[in-house]
Amino acid sequence: MITYSVKKNKKTRMTFRLFGLFLMAFTLLLIVPAVLGYDKHSTFSLIIAFLFGLYGLTLVIHSFGKTQYDITYEFHEDEILVKHHRGESFYRYEDIVDYSLVTPDNPNVYSIINLKFAKESFLIPFSFKKEFCDKVYNYLNERVTSKMLQEELREAEKSGNH
């Protein structure tokens, strides 16, 4: 089993929320007087203001997501356990749709493992931990490959029996 924790900064969440609320307030200050007939704006400027408001709403909603808080990944033999502020989630290796290792030009600075499931995806950052990232990725690759081979063997046995 391999365990890795990602710490998130509370100030970042608060900044996203405040900036999102600012954009929504800006939108309301432009759109409400125009709708009530007190102020004249072009349709284009109202559409742009509305899009800013939607972006602000998106920032506020996204700031409450489980990946915005401290999160711990435990890579077990048969599953991945993700511990977050809302509890725990279990993911089987068979359910992984795609996974990749993202490395920049200078891999010593950071590396990222991208895990995609049917409904969720996780970006696991490794700052200045290239060796540990490679260890986790190799462990993940072994598990996913073995589960895929087991599944193919089961399907071959089923089709061979019929």
Q: Is residue 60 part of a domain?
A: yes
Query: Are 74 and 83 in contact, with CB atoms under 8 Å apart?
Result: yes
Strand partners, 82: 73, 89
Instruction: Please tell me whether residue 84 adopts helix, strand or coil conformation.
Output: strand
Q: Is residue 146 part of a domain?
A: yes
Q: Identify the domain containing residue 24 by its residue range.
A: 8-64
Do 55 and 27 lie in a common domain?
yes
Q: Is residue 23 part of a domain?
A: yes
Model pLDDT for residues 76-87, shown as the tens digit of each residue: 888 888 898 888
Q: Is residue 2 part of a domain?
A: no
User: What distance in Å separates the CA atoms of residue 135 and residue 30, rounded to the nearest whole number?
Assistant: 53
Count of the separate structural domains present in the chain: 2
Q: Is residue 1 part of a domain?
A: no
User: Which pLDDT belongs to residue 162?
Assistant: 57
User: What distance in Å separates the CA atoms of residue 157 and residue 120, rounded to the nearest whole number?
Assistant: 31
Q: Is residue 3 part of a domain?
A: no
Q: H/E/C letters for each residue in 99-117? A: EEEECCCCCCCEEEEEEEC
Model pLDDT for residues 92-134, shown as the tens digit of each residue: 888 888 888 888 877 678 888 888 888 888 888 888 888 888 8
The chain-wide mean pLDDT, for the chain, equals 86
Q: Is residue 70 part of a domain?
A: no
Q: Is residue 69 part of a domain?
A: no
117 Cβ partners below 8 Å, 6+ apart? 91, 95, 96, 97
pTM of the model: 0.71
User: Which pLDDT belongs to residue 161?
Assistant: 63
User: Which pLDDT belongs to residue 23?
Assistant: 96
Do 97 and 125 lie in a common domain?
yes
Do 80 and 156 lie in a common domain?
yes
User: What distance in Å separates the CA atoms of residue 80 and residue 145, rounded to the nearest whole number?
Assistant: 15
